Amino acid sequence: MNKKSVLFIGLLLLVCIVLSFALYVIKLEGTCNIPTPSSNAELKNDFSSVNNLISLEVNDFSEKKLNLVDINAKSYQKNTISITDSDFKLSDSLYQQMDYLLKEYGAGTAFYIVSLEDGMTIGYNVDQTFETASSIKAPYALYLYHEIADGNINPNQKIMYEPKYYNQGTGVVKTSEFGTEYTVKELVYYSLTESDNVAHIMLHHTFGVDGYNQMLTNLGAKSLYLTISNPWGFLTPRSMALVWQDIYNFAIQREEGIAFFNILSNGKYNYFKEVMPSIPSASKAGFASHDVVEAGIVFGDHPYIAVAVANKGGTRGAYTQVLKMLSTMNDIMNEYHSYVYS
């Protein structure tokens, strides 16, 4: 083989490597634009679009009772997988699988599961503090939707995009010209579906933190609180579970809650759907320089709240860790449901 052939093959391999990396980045961060809804009518008042394979019916969901699990009353042992409100025990193989994942990261990993049917919980580092990253957008949007439902915020109120709101992170609003106006409902939609940082910052700056922080206090949360200068904050899996329990109940109680839940079920960055695409879920993930978070509700036949966090090994390593945990968490719940219903 002559030198020209070797050089050509080398260049071809280099091009393949670059293209593979580019495709990976696109998958990880997303590039598609989602059209802005012009009215709430376009946000279907049901769960029919949770994913392409399985749909939920509003009537079935609305017949459910409010979930009143006292999450704050539950206690957990440190540095071990803890189960409450059940005699269920993990099989040796599944325990070893999860234990191996947790030992890789130690204090840099946490997971929490709350059964929405019977209140059974399984967790590890449930009260460990982590950066929220973009997972904070769901709690803040919950506050705004409560205010919209109560008539305290006009969803059609317009907010102007100004230079002070610019953020180079994920989203589509940042590509707009300064001076462009967006309605509250459009900004909430973008903050959740596109994980739009600018949209979240605009909402945070406009509506502040007093009402939001009071909502968290009423829920019994110990973290997720924000300040005027910081729209991101910190989470514990327990506090995040309290918020998602309220999201679930809000969807049962109010029409606006159904519309809100529908948005959460169609976010671009849903890590549940990456590992279990055939199971309906609603979530808000977070992907930052220090940690990766996924929090939400997995439905299937037996719904449960799930929170998974990792903050070690760089974002790519933490992202992979979260995906592994989510898959194992669903295996745990399948084993639990076999134990309960067999």
Distance CA 233, CA 237 (A): 13
CATH number of 41-341: 3.40.710.10
pLDDT tens, residue by residue, 71-80 = 999 999 988 9
Predicted TM-score (pTM) of the model is 0.82
The domain spans of the chain are: 1-31, 41-341
pLDDT of amino acid 115? 96
Could you give the 3-state DSSP secondary structure of residue 227?
Answer: strand
Please report, for residues 18, 67, 105, 138, 327, the alpha-carbon distance to residue 246 in angstroms, rounded to integers and kept in the order given. Answer: 44, 8, 30, 11, 24
Q: What is the mean pLDDT of residues 175-201?
A: 97
Comparing C-alpha atoms, which of 122, 116, 42 is closest to residue 335? 122
DSSP state letters, 156-222: T-EEE--GGG--SSS-SGGGSPTT-EEEHHHHHHHHHHS--HHHHHHHHHHH-SHHHHHHHHHHT-S
Average confidence score pLDDT of the chain: 84
Q: What is the mean pLDDT of residues 216-236?
A: 97
Stretch among 193-197, 266-270, 306-310 having the lowest mean pLDDT = 266-270
* Cα diameter, the chain: 76
pLDDT tens, residue by residue, 11-20 = 555 545 544 5
pLDDT grade for 1, boundaries at 50, 70 and 90: low
Q: In sequence order, what are the residues at sequence separation of 6 or more whose Cβ sits closer than 8 angstroms to the Cβ of residue 137?
A: 191, 192, 195, 200, 284
- Let me know if 339 is exposed, middle or buried by CB neighbors in 10 A (0-12, 13-18, 19+): middle
Pick the most confident of 24-33, 62-71, 146-155: 146-155
> What is the residue whose two structure tokens read 């019994």?
220
Could you give the 3-state DSSP secondary structure of residue 329?
Answer: helix
Distance CA 70, CA 180 (A): 44
pLDDT at 263 over 60: yes
E strands of the chain, at which residues? 82-84, 109-115, 121-124, 130-131, 158-160, 181-183, 234-235, 281-287, 292-298, 304-310
Q: Which helix (H) or strand (E) holds 145?
A: helix 137-149
CA triple 305-105-219, angle to 5 deg: 30
Query: How is residue 187 written in tokens?
Result: 């900004």
